[in-house]
């Protein structure tokens, strides 16, 4: 996996910032400006595109290889698109800037990313492959994927600094999910009220399928303190989703770093 995604791994190591939070949460941001200032960037992006375009998808013959591969591919293509498709005056403010008034999420629906000689959209990768019928039938579908693929937005669960690797897949999925469920931007409990990211609305059925209900999924994958607090919940509210680009300037937690 590292050989396939070596150019992307280099990008993450150089430009991805992770900031642990006091209660076990995590925020991360990608330094797009820093990446764009690197004269070797175009060649690195092209090398990664070529590796994916020539990749033999029949090699994805186990759950661990397949899930890790497609998570990394999704995350790479999102970062690549932002770095390769700037706005007129520089970086886009939000991935929705690639859309239109009536189709603001077009970036997720355009089949423009090549893997093994076939073009995929980001939705094809996330919803059609990782969470699609074939993976479900094989027992490979995992709702924790929603916390691993990153839509390059402040409101999205954090992009990780390392690749998802087959031998570490379940450990990384568990860790990434737990981090998100301990981050107030995604989940918080105030008194008897549960505040949840809109991700739990958009993909409710996946969590129900995995654990019986959204609350049961949270209890299964969150820290014990979160699970215990759920017992006091009587109502839930939604946290507004922040579609601003996941660059460091948009995270107050990063501005507070020493």
How many domains does the chain contain in total? 2
Q: Residue 240's Cα: distance from chain center in Å?
A: 18
- The token duo for 94 is 């939000």
**Claim to verify: residue 59 and residue 134 sit in the same structural domain:** yes
Q: How far apart are CA 83 and CA 42, in angstroms?
A: 9
Give pLDDT tens digits for 15-37.
999 999 988 999 999 999 999 99
Residue 42 lies in a domain: yes
Q: What is the pLDDT of residue 256?
A: 59
Of how many residues is the chain composed? 258
- Tell me what the pLDDT averaged over the chain comes to: 95
Under 8 Å between Cβ of 180 and 174:
no
Of the listed ranges 96-105, 126-135, 180-189, the least confidently predicted one is: 96-105
Q: How far apart are CA 217 and CA 209, in angstroms?
A: 9
**Claim to verify: residue 139 and residue 212 sit in the same structural domain:** no
pTM of the model: 0.96
pLDDT over 60 (residue 257): no
Of the listed ranges 88-97, 145-154, 188-197, 217-226, the least confidently predicted one is: 88-97
Helix (H, G, I), strand (E, B) or coil at 21: coil
CA distance to 38, 128, 178, 236, per residue, from 220 (Å): 42, 25, 10, 18
- The residue assigned the tokens 């922040």 is 242
Q: Residue 43's Cα: distance from chain center in Å?
A: 24
**Claim to verify: residue 108 and residue 121 sit in the same structural domain:** yes
Could you tell me the residue range of the domain that residue 190 belongs to?
186-239
Angle between helices 6-15 and 63-84 (to 10 degrees): 60
Of the listed ranges 53-57, 159-163, 186-190, 254-258, the least confidently predicted one is: 254-258
Kind of pairing between the strands at 235-239 and 26-30: unpaired
**Claim to verify: residue 209 and residue 175 sit in the same structural domain:** no
Provide, rounded to the nearest whole percent, the portion of the chain with pLDDT above 70: 99
Of the listed ranges 48-62, 97-111, 123-137, the least confidently predicted one is: 97-111
Residue 1 lies in a domain: no
**Claim to verify: residue 67 and residue 36 sit in the same structural domain:** yes
Cβ contacts of 22 within 8 Å, gap of 6 or more: none
**Claim to verify: residue 130 and residue 168 sit in the same structural domain:** yes
- The residue assigned the tokens 């890790």 is 68
**Claim to verify: residue 164 and residue 105 sit in the same structural domain:** yes
Q: What is the pLDDT of residue 227?
A: 85
**Claim to verify: residue 163 and residue 229 sit in the same structural domain:** no
- The residue assigned the tokens 């579908």 is 141
**Claim to verify: residue 120 and residue 235 sit in the same structural domain:** no
Q: What is the pLDDT of residue 223?
A: 92
């Amino acid at each position: 996996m590292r050989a396939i995604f070596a150019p992307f791994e280099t990008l993450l190591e150089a430009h991805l910032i992770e900031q642990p939070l006091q209660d076990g949460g995590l925020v991360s941001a990608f330094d797009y400006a820093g990446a764009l200032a690197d004269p070797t960037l175009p060649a690195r992006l092209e090398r990664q595109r070529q590796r994916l375009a020539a990749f033999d998808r029949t090699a994805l013959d186990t759950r661990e290889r397949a899930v890790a591969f497609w998570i990394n591919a999704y995350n790479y293509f999102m970062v690549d698109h932002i770095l390769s498709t700037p706005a007129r005056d520089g970086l886009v403010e939000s991935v929705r800037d690639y859309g239109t008034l009536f189709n603001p999420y077009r970036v997720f629906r355009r089949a423009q990313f090549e893997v093994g000689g076939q073009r995929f959209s980001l939705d094809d990768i996330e919803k059609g492959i990782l969470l699609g019928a074939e993976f479900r039938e094989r027992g490979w579908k995992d709702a924790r994927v929603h916390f691993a693929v990153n839509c390059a937005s402040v409101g999205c669960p954090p992009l990780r600094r390392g690749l998802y690797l087959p031998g570490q897949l379940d450990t990384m999925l568990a860790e990434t999910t737990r981090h998100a469920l301990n981050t107030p931007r995604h989940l918080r409990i105030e008194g008897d009220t549960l505040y949840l990211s809109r991700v739990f609305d958009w993909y409710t059925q996946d969590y129900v399928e995995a654990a019986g209900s959204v609350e049961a999924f949270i209890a299964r994958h969150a820290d014990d303190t979160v699970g215990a607090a759920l017992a006091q919940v009587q109502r839930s509210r939604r946290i507004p989703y922040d579609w601003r680009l996941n660059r460091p300037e948009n995270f107050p937690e990063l501005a507070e770093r020493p």
